[in-house]
Amino acid sequence: MANNKRPGPSAKERMAKPRNEMPLHSAEERIRHFNEVPTGYSLEQAMDEASRCIQCKKPDCIGGCPVGINIPEFLLQLEGGDVAGAAKTIRQNNFLPAACGRVCPQDKQCEAVCIVGKKNDSVGIGNLERFVADYEREHDLDRMPEIAPDTGKKIAVIGSGPAGMTAAYELRVRGHDVTIFEAFHRGGGVMVYGIPRFRLPLEIIDEDLKLLEEMGVEIVYDMIIGRTLSLDDLLETEGFDSVFIASGAGLPKMLGVPGENLNGVYSANEYLTRIYLMHANYFPEHPTPIYQGKKLAVIGAGNTAMDVLRTGKRLGAEVTCYYRRSHDEAPARSEELEHAEQEFIDFKWLSSPIEFIGDENGFVKAIKCEVMELSEPDDSGRRRPVPTGESFTDEVDTVVFSLGCDVNPTIPDSTRDVTTNKWGIMMVDPVTYHTSKPGVFAGGDTVTGGSTVILAMGQAKTAAKYIHEYVMGNFEYELNVPTDPEAPGVQWGFAK
């Protein structure tokens, strides 16, 4: 399985080498600030870690990456100290490597299928992708791709999250005139207003947006498509030949239990957006406020919940996570859960809120939970929580719901012909990502109902390929856009 012609240690020796752990700020120190938690590999550590790759002849890691990065190739270049070459290799497939190196669920993707991981810890592919991208940025290496001659075709992209940014990049590289329309005053989508600074520093996304603009992509901020301009306007009066919808899934889900409307109860989106986009923690210097309580309850145990818990901790609250299943079923990325556990956060597993209790002024003062136990696995393969009949009440002064999001209805509600299922997820042809409206494609959270940065990017890459064919007049497919309101959203996102 390994490429034995390679000089240096044998595959067996490489497989026996211990993984270079990512250096971190201590938990005691990091909860006092919003700086990034990992401090990054040195060049020597990165080269050593890359040398643990055994260069398999059939590398599963490439297939494990939704955008198909040639992982063995970049690791070989990095092992030899050719960081610029490694950066070029990664960039052939991934336009956002610094973000992906930090937030991708590598433990469930490329690293999960790494052969070294069968005998030892898998190669630290995510940490190395991050190292290469940071080195490239810090050393100001040339990131400008080759751009094909102008095609004269105009394409609108709605939303500047990872799906929108990736589609814009892929379409501009093919020579099209691309405009991104973004509702907020900043670009980056959830990578900017959801994922906290201690996981993904802002300057990384700003650099990627700057590159898009240098490539000639126009970004129009403060423009809600579906309000100021409609999708039909873009196609009928604004002269766009095609539109890619990448407006994400930003409509929070709540539990539907009494007391959810009390003051001090937030959705995760609102809480994080107020802090990271509006700087509410610096009120009144910034105009948007947030209630900074002393006892924060977070409902849910996914990535978003971990971000809220850790943000609340940094704002000085005593923080508790309430989740109806147990630790092993928590959907958060394992590293995020581990970091939250290190940061003195309390976890109440098998606890399902049934009521929020308010004081005489309408502010939340307590949370009542039912104690759960686990029964047989459900459709997701995780064991189903069932009530035990016991309950408990905790005093709290802030509650944040982190139960996932639905797709915002603004675009389908304001447009003819774009169909959704009964949960509001946009329906697309599963091969081309074409919607039910001619010339309109969609990808990312708006078609999955909520997923990951890399899957949104994988879908956008695929959609861009077909948008190119569409505007160039080579689009000949029998489309299969589901019409059944019960049909699920697209569940995958590997670039094809």
Ligand X SMILES: Cc1cc2nc3c(=O)[nH]c(=O)nc-3n(C[C@H](O)[C@H](O)[C@H](O)COP(=O)(O)OP(=O)(O)OC[C@H]3O[C@@H](n4cnc5c(N)ncnc54)[C@H](O)[C@@H]3O)c2cc1C
Residues binding ligand X (CB under 6 A): 103-104, 158-164, 181-184, 189-191, 194-195, 224-226, 246-248, 250, 272, 303-304, 307, 333, 408, 410-411, 444-446, 451-454, 456
Closest CB 452 distance from ligand X, rounded Å: 3
Measured from the CB atom, the residue of 74 and 276 that comes closer to ligand X is 276
Nearer to ligand X, 169 or 181 (CB): 181
For the record, the structure tokens of 291 come out as 């209630």
- d(C-alpha 295, C-alpha 292), whole Å: 9
Identity of the residue, 194 or 385, whose beta carbon is nearer to ligand X in the bound complex: 194
Q: Nearest approach, Cβ of 455 to ligand X (angstroms)?
A: 7
The minimum distance between CB 200 and ligand X, in angstroms, equals: 8
Residues whose CB is less than 8 angstroms from the CB of residue 275 and which lie 6 or more positions away in sequence, other chains included: 281, 290, 311, 315
Return the number of the residue (171 or 190) whose C-beta is nearest ligand X: 190
Q: Where are the alpha helices (DSSP H) in 215-344?
A: 231-236, 268-276, 303-314, 334-342
- Bridge partners of 386, per DSSP, are 373
Nearer to ligand X, 225 or 372 (CB): 225
* β-bridge partners, 263: 363
Smaller CB distance to ligand X: residue 108 or 327?
A: 108
Rounded to 10 degrees, the C-alpha dihedral 163/164/170/175 comes to 170
Q: How far is the CB of 410 from ligand X (least distance, A)?
A: 5
Residues pairing with 391 in the sheet: 370
**Helix (H), strand (E) at residue 347:** strand 346-348
Q: Min. distance of Cβ 443 from ligand X in angstroms? A: 7
Of 45 and 304, which CB lies nearer to ligand X in the complex structure?
A: 304
**Cα angle 83, 88, 91; round to 5:** 125
- Cα separation of 325 and 331, whole Å? 10
Buried b (16+ CB within 10 A) or exposed e, 149-161: eebebbbbbbbbb
- Cβ neighbours of 255 (radius 10 Å): 17
DSSP helix/strand/coil, 440: strand
- CB 413 → ligand X: shortest distance, Å? 10
- Minimum distance between the CB of residue 170 and ligand X, rounded to whole angstroms? 13
Which is closer to ligand X, CB of 51 or CB of 267? 267
Element containing residue 298 per DSSP (H, E) = strand 295-299
Nearest to 59 by CA among 100, 19, 111, 107: 111
Residue 340 CB, nearest distance to ligand X (Å)?
A: 12
Whether the Cβ atoms of residue 305 and residue 321 lie closer than 8 Å to each other: yes
